[in-house]
Amino acid sequence: MNRRHLVAGNWKMNTSLEEGLNLLKTIALDYPKLKQNQELIIAPPYIHLSDFQKADLPKSIKIAAQNCASEHSGAYTGEVSPAMLADLNISYVILGHSERRSYFGESHDILKRKVDLSLEQGLTPIFCLGEQKEERQSGSFKTVLLKQLQDSVFHLDAESFSKLILAYEPVWAIGTGLTATAEQAEDTHNFIRQEIAKHYSETLADQCTILYGGSCKPSNADELFAQPNVDGGLIGGAALKSADFLAIAEALIRQKQ
Ligand code: PGA
């Protein structure tokens, strides 16, 4: 097994350009020595992407967009297409974040289009999936997760699917301080991997990077990353403090080969 392990910081709608570049600089100066199959990813606000791409960054730090349009080009005021991101040499794009799904009404079908267009442009989607609190409590969460996979990414052929990164982000854990226990994360990641194995193959399932997101922080990162099916984290709040983000990166290095 040779999965990619990574820690990605989703800065959401935070930081001025100056604050963001300072934070990026601190991370780039102090980041721990990563192993060959490990990377750090930073997703700043859209408007800063171009400046971030120009920053002199080590090879193992990559820049991601937090979203992209579901159309290639045209009269879509305010939107930014995957082709425009590719033009800036952006490597990754976060898709299907629960905030996009719930506040901006992004349906499974819209996400499917975004996934397809991003892959066409050579971007790596970090595709988020996760259940609401009631769905966890009622036990229906696995059906919900499976539908998110089926409706937005399982139409891909095996080669295209192998380019995706998945991020399991239970909605009840995002920004709430409530983290899935390491056991819940492991059990859910294992479920997702089994579904990939059923739909594609054991090999593809084994190679797929599945991140955990939702109140991941220095105090729980080791325990989460120690789980065999958790390949790193998608970090929100804790990614805005360089010390916390770097401590989470160190946890990844400690826990993963
Ligand atoms: P959080 O956010 O770490 O602040 O819970 C995670 C995310 O939204 O990706």
Task: Work out which ligand 1 atom sits closest to the CA atom of 234.
Answer: 9
Classify 167 as helix, strand or coil: strand
Q: What integer is the mean pLDDT of 76-104?
A: 97
Residues 6+ apart with CB under 8 A from 174: 98, 99, 130, 213, 214, 215, 236
Gyration radius of the chain's alpha carbons: 17
Tokens representing 241? 């403090």
Residue 129's H or E segment, with its range, is: strand 124-129
Q: What is the pLDDT of residues 193-224, one digit of tens each?
A: 999 999 999 999 999 999 999 999 999 999 99
Q: What integer is the mean pLDDT of 27-37?
A: 92
For the entire predicted model, the pTM comes to: 0.97
| CA pseudo-torsion sign 186, 133, 68, 148 | positive
Report which residue type is found at 218.
P
Task: Work out which ligand 1 atom sits closest to the CA atom of 99.
Answer: 8
> With contact defined as beta carbons under 8 Å apart, do 167 and 126 qualify?
yes
Q: What is the pLDDT of residues 53-85, one digit of tens each?
A: 999 999 999 999 999 999 999 999 999 999 999
Across 10-19, 84-93, 153-162, 177-186, least confident range: 177-186
Ligand 1 pocket check: which of 165, 216, 217, 240 to mutate, most ligand atoms within 8 Å of Cβ? Answer: 216
Ligand 1 contact, 41 CB (< 6 A): no
- Residue closest via CA to ligand 1's atom 6 equals 236
Ligand 1 contact, 102 CB (< 6 A): no
Torsion, CA 1, CA 118, CA 236, CA 233, rounded to 10: 0
Distance in Å, CA 13 to ligand 1 centroid: 12
pLDDT of residue 177: 85
Q: What is the pLDDT of residues 110-151, one digit of tens each?
A: 999 999 999 999 999 999 999 999 999 999 999 999 999 999
Active-site amino acid positions: 97, 169
Distance in Å, CA 183 to ligand 1 centroid: 19
Mean residue pLDDT of the chain comes to 96
DSSP symbol at 158: H
Q: Quick one: how far is CA 178 from the chain centroid? A: 19
Tokens representing 140? 């229906």
Decide if pLDDT at 1 tops 80: no
